[in-house]
Amino acid sequence: MTIADELRTRNFSLYGQWVGILSIIICLAVGIATIFTFNIGLIIFSAVCIATGLTLIFVEVPFLLRICPISQRFDDFVRRFNNNLPRAGFYLILALVQWFTLFIRGSSLIVAAVFLTIASSCYAIAALKKQEFTSSNALGGQGLAQQII
């Protein structure tokens, strides 16, 4: 199944995963770009944004848990998010943290907050529609994801 075929399935967990992949890229990019400001609050939120991006890599690309040496504790933490509703909540918490940067100063970190919110919404819609959690074939697919879990 190609990526275009996956997007035509109307499965919001696939949409959430692809928006999650975009969120990883955006979190890393804006986190690195914003860390060079002279505002200590934004530097802290930038570091959190970078850590968010790195954590989401393991959440969204499950085969990386097999090939990267990480602790069992982190592995157990990531495995908690193998359903739509837990992922929606996780993304919502991450988005809220980035939305709090508005209390300090508006910055490019808001873009990360927007994408994290969209990913959370996709996973929440999938949970409300009782759609099965599906992992993209392009990112390891169901067969590989099931071996890891």
Beta-carbon count within 10 A of 15 CB: 20
Model pLDDT, residue 46: 94
In a domain, 121, yes or no: yes
In a domain, 30, yes or no: yes
User: Considering its fold, how many domains does the chain have in total?
Assistant: 1
In a domain, 138, yes or no: yes
44 and 35 in contact (C-beta within 8 Å)?
Answer: no
| Range among 25-29, 63-67, 83-87 rated most confident | 25-29
pTM (2 d.p.): 0.84
Model pLDDT, residue 105: 86
Query: What range defines the domain where residue 43 resides?
Result: 11-148
Distance from C-alpha of 18 to C-alpha of 40, rounded to nearest angstrom = 32
Distance from C-alpha of 130 to C-alpha of 133, rounded to nearest angstrom = 9
Mean pLDDT, range 65-92, rounded to an integer: 85
Mean pLDDT, range 98-122, rounded to an integer: 92
b/e 139-148 (16+ beta carbons within 10 angstroms → b): bbeeebbeeb
Model pLDDT, residue 72: 83
With bands split at pLDDT 50, 70 and 90, how would you rate the model's confidence at 6?
low
First-residue to last-residue Cα distance in the chain = 22
